[in-house]
Amino acid sequence: MVTSTPDPCPQGRRKLLVFVAVRDSQLRDACGRAAARDPGLRLLAVSKDVAEPRMRGECPDVIVVGAGERSAAGVTAVAMARQLYPEAVVLPVTRDDEPSRILGLAAATTVETSCSDQPRPSVIGVDVIRSAIAWGEPSVVFQPVVDLQDRRVAGVEALARFGVEPSHPPDVWFAAAHGVGLGIDLERAAIQAAIRAATTLAPDVYLAVNVSPAAVLMPDVRAALAEAPPNQLVLEITEHARVDDYDELQAALAPLRARGVRIAIDDVGAGFASLRHVLRLDPEIIKLDQEITRGVEHNAGRAKLVGGLIAGASAVSTLVIAEGIETGPQLRCLRELGVRGGQGYFIGRPSDLRSAVGGNHAVMAALEPGHPPTPSPSGPRQALSGARILVVDDSPAHRHLIRSIFELEGASVHDAATAAAAHLAFEDVEPDLVLLDVRLPDGTGFDVLERIRRTSDTPALFVTAATAVSDRVAGFDRGADDYLLKPFSPEELVARVDSALRRRLTRSTDPPGALRSAESSTC
């Protein structure tokens, strides 16, 4: 493939460098041909994988990836591309898209720079990662986790830091390492650094280390974890790679748990991957993502969601830790809601071990008995109270999460896993609103909506991971009221559904049961 310096363009502009990384051979070839024909673009390479080794040292302006495809590391191709090449425009495409139009749009919207540009940032390649590990990277810092009830430091989370060039955040380093087959080596190095740095940790304070599902399966990683006192060790399972076999992962975790090691699931509430982990791994700890804890002291909807998650966790004796705590009122509100553990900049920024364990006097003072603020209402959800919502999605985890969100708002939630079941449920339930996934085992959400529209104007929203522009167009063409991409924030989903139901109220003179009662209620 071409890897030489790009030719100069007229008017002092250079051609945009394009890398095509699509696993579908027909789509890959079509995108490569379209890029080669465009006079404003220069094709660098065509490959199945976004982390193709021949791309080391190159910095493309545009990366074309298959929408919904996964890289060799198990991470979605879109996510991997954005991590490896943060300066590039990432274009997800499907067979329904026209490559030349997609690339033409990129050429029109990407800011082109002159031939005398500043040097482009370095890409983290295999040699760079090996050198970093040889030099003792990464180093670690520690962020405290406070027990909000007992007012003490309960644990510390070890966070990797890189002090070598190129200068990139830790998540970019780990994504790059997994992309070139060195992710497990880098994770093991981070684990070993954390355990070495935490040898003076008090026996009643735990050490949390981040580990991907793939790393847990490796004997050398489990050997590294064995160097830490098991009753002080917490493994925070991360999403560096997809879990294809939960039985295998549970088998690898079983000996560790038998020795006293605890399992934590990170970022619960932000999306569906962490919820799947909770359902399958039965962790001792769940950590609420900062997207749902931020502003909880001022937002009754978020407070309800946090309360629901805490109630569910308490039922199975799971400890709940809230991440992203940045203010005293937020901390006190979360404590009032029943959160047991807290982590965030208000409690303590990442630092050396001694400061992490002993520098929380202001936080402890904020936890003194008083009158915590009560969350202020964010506005009534009249339309949601008593509304019948039909969720059509083939993922049990997705259906469970959506049910939890809307039952907290007073809605009645029904679900279906297939297109056939959706048709029957629609007739039986007579829902006030339908939430649809695009891909179903026996058809598509488009088919379901098309059939609904033959007899009903019931509001319908797509909630899906299908990112192609053509999918959105198809959804709206068939009468969708909205189109929301996964993962989403629960607050945004509730707001979109509430808005759709309210719009129906304003145009309907005889709303169905739930909506009729909502219309007659007062704030």
CA–CA–CA angle 170, 175, 176 (5° rounding): 100
Measured distance CA(371)–CA(358) in Å, rounded: 26
CA distance to 200, 257, 271, per residue, from 230 (Å): 15, 8, 30
Helix axes 126-134, 170-179, angle to 10 degrees: 120
Give CA torsion, residues 93, 95, 101, 104, to 10 deg. 40
How confident is the prediction for the chain on average, in pLDDT?
Answer: 79
CATH number at residue 182: 3.20.20.450
- Predicted local distance difference test score (pLDDT) of residue 510: 43
pLDDT tens for residues 407-421? 878 889 999 999 999
- Predicted local distance difference test score (pLDDT) of residue 113: 40
In the chain, the amino acid numbered 489 is: S
Measured distance CA(515)–CA(503) in Å, rounded: 11
Same domain for 292 and 185: yes
Residue bearing the bigger pLDDT, 424 or 381 = 424
- Predicted local distance difference test score (pLDDT) of residue 83: 72
- Predicted local distance difference test score (pLDDT) of residue 299: 84
Measured distance CA(410)–CA(514) in Å, rounded: 11
Same domain for 254 and 197: yes
Question: In the structure, what pLDDT confidence band is assigned to residue 514 with cuts at 50, 70 and 90?
Answer: very low
Which token pair is 405? 């969100």
Measured distance CA(443)–CA(447) in Å, rounded: 7
> What pairs with residue 463 in β-bridges?
484
Measured distance CA(414)–CA(408) in Å, rounded: 14
Residue bearing the bigger pLDDT, 286 or 313 = 286
User: Quick check: is 376 in a domain?
Assistant: no
Question: In the structure, what pLDDT confidence band is assigned to residue 264 with cuts at 50, 70 and 90?
Answer: very high
Measured distance CA(384)–CA(498) in Å, rounded: 6
- Predicted local distance difference test score (pLDDT) of residue 68: 77
What's the number of domains the chain is made of? 3
- Predicted local distance difference test score (pLDDT) of residue 141: 94
Q: How large is the average pLDDT for residues 480-488?
A: 78
CATH number at residue 33: 3.40.50.2300
SS3 292: helix
Same domain for 172 and 213: yes
Same domain for 349 and 248: yes
Same domain for 346 and 301: yes
Same domain for 155 and 277: yes
User: Quick check: is 142 in a domain?
Assistant: yes
Same domain for 307 and 178: yes
pLDDT tens for residues 179-213? 788 989 999 999 999 999 999 999 889 999 999 99
- Predicted local distance difference test score (pLDDT) of residue 445: 93
pLDDT tens for residues 235-250? 998 754 567 788 999 9
Contact of 37 with 62, CB cutoff 8 Å: no
- Predicted local distance difference test score (pLDDT) of residue 158: 96
pLDDT tens for residues 17-65? 888 888 888 888 888 888 888 877 888 888 887 776 444 556 788 888 8
- Predicted local distance difference test score (pLDDT) of residue 210: 94
Cis peptide before 86 (omega within 30 of 0): no
Same domain for 434 and 343: no
User: Quick check: is 465 in a domain?
Assistant: yes
pLDDT tens for residues 325-350? 988 889 888 888 888 899 998 888 89
User: Quick check: is 130 in a domain?
Assistant: no
Q: Is the pLDDT of residue 84 over 80?
A: no
Most confidently predicted of 35-49, 107-121, 463-477? 35-49
- Predicted local distance difference test score (pLDDT) of residue 48: 81
User: Quick check: is 120 in a domain?
Assistant: no
Question: In the structure, what pLDDT confidence band is assigned to residue 73 with cuts at 50, 70 and 90?
Answer: low
Measured distance CA(235)–CA(158) in Å, rounded: 11
- Predicted local distance difference test score (pLDDT) of residue 111: 43
Domain finish residue from 366, 398, 433: 366
Which range is least confidently modeled, 53-67, 209-223, 487-501? 53-67
User: Quick check: is 129 in a domain?
Assistant: no
Q: How large is the average pLDDT for residues 291-300?
A: 85
User: Quick check: is 121 in a domain?
Assistant: no
> What pairs with residue 392 in β-bridges?
416, 436
Domain interval for residue 461? 388-520
Same domain for 286 and 180: yes
pLDDT tens for residues 126-167? 888 898 899 999 999 999 999 887 788 999 999 999 988 777
Same domain for 141 and 79: no
202-207: Cβ within 8 A, 24+ apart: 202/357, 203/229, 203/232, 205/153, 205/154, 205/155, 205/156, 205/232, 205/357, 206/154, 206/155, 206/156, 206/232, 206/233, 206/234, 206/262, 207/155, 207/156, 207/158, 207/232, 207/233, 207/234
DSSP 182: -
Domain finish residue from 109, 129, 160: 109
Residue bearing the bigger pLDDT, 92 or 202 = 202
Spatial neighbors of 311 by CB under 8 A, at least 6 apart, are 338
Same domain for 71 and 173: no
Same domain for 237 and 338: yes
User: Quick check: is 371 in a domain?
Assistant: no
Contact of 362 with 380, CB cutoff 8 Å: no
Q: Is the pLDDT of residue 107 over 80?
A: no
